[in-house]
Amino acid sequence: MGHLLVIDVGVAVAFLGVWYLFFAAYNRRKGTEALRWVESACAGKGRILDSRWLNSFRLLARLQFPSRSFENARVTMKFRPRALPVQWFMSCWHKQKETLTFEADLGGSPSFHLEVVRHRWCAHSRGVNSRRRDERQWDIYEPGPVILTTRTHWKQDPTAELNALMTVRQQDVLQVRFRPESPQFSATIKLDALDDPRAAAGFLTTLRELAAGASAHRQ
């Protein structure tokens, strides 16, 4: 009985080891491909200095741009944690997306905190249907971005908040953040949105527009 237990444990450990190596290599191939997308987006406007894996599913790359629009720039790509079965299952269960987050300091420190989060859908139930009590009727809505800011008064002129809001509405950007501390600017997008060269170039343009909007309203 003890020998069978040892064999079972050995087989399980070997299986998990093979699983980890296979899917860690799979994520690294995806990371290499994603870096090519970033290089394509930065063609003629910036370059990748270096890259390193933080763990089996997070890749960090440092960028350099010729202008002062972005300083200390970096991107963090978050893949599904495929090499870790339990984390992969939880990631699939929660339908987490593979994302790319761009972070950088601006030419000058923003004088405000701002976070724009784009939610795709929301819904509320109108209660139980009188005919079919096991089902509920749902109203589905597609809301606009949600803005969180430290400002106590909302200005009605075209401030950096409104510029960020309108830009996010037109692009597939999941989150944008400004703050006085480093990194002063960050933006997150779904990773697969960059597999199209035009979309990748459009994302970099969006970043520049957002940074320009903040620069125009520094105090």
Instruction: List the pLDDT tens digit at each of the 219 positions of the chain.
Output: 666 777 767 778 888 888 888 988 999 999 999 898 888 887 777 888 999 999 999 999 999 888 777 889 999 999 999 888 888 888 888 888 899 999 998 877 777 777 777 655 555 555 555 555 555 566 655 556 566 666 666 555 445 555 555 555 555 678 888 888 888 888 888 888 777 777 777 777 777 777 776 655 554
Question: Contact at 8 Å (CB) between 135 and 129?
Answer: yes
The per-residue pLDDT for 158 is 44
Question: Contact at 8 Å (CB) between 96 and 108?
Answer: no
Pairwise CA distance, residues 214 & 112, whole Å: 9
pTM comes to 0.75
The per-residue pLDDT for 219 is 46
How many structural domains is the chain composed of? 1
Pairwise CA distance, residues 84 & 91, whole Å: 10
The per-residue pLDDT for 131 is 54
The token duo for 75 is: 């991107």
The per-residue pLDDT for 129 is 53
Inter-CA distances, 63 with 1, 8, 51, 70, 79, Å: 57, 47, 9, 9, 20
**Domain membership of residue 69 as a residue range:** 2-215
The per-residue pLDDT for 177 is 85
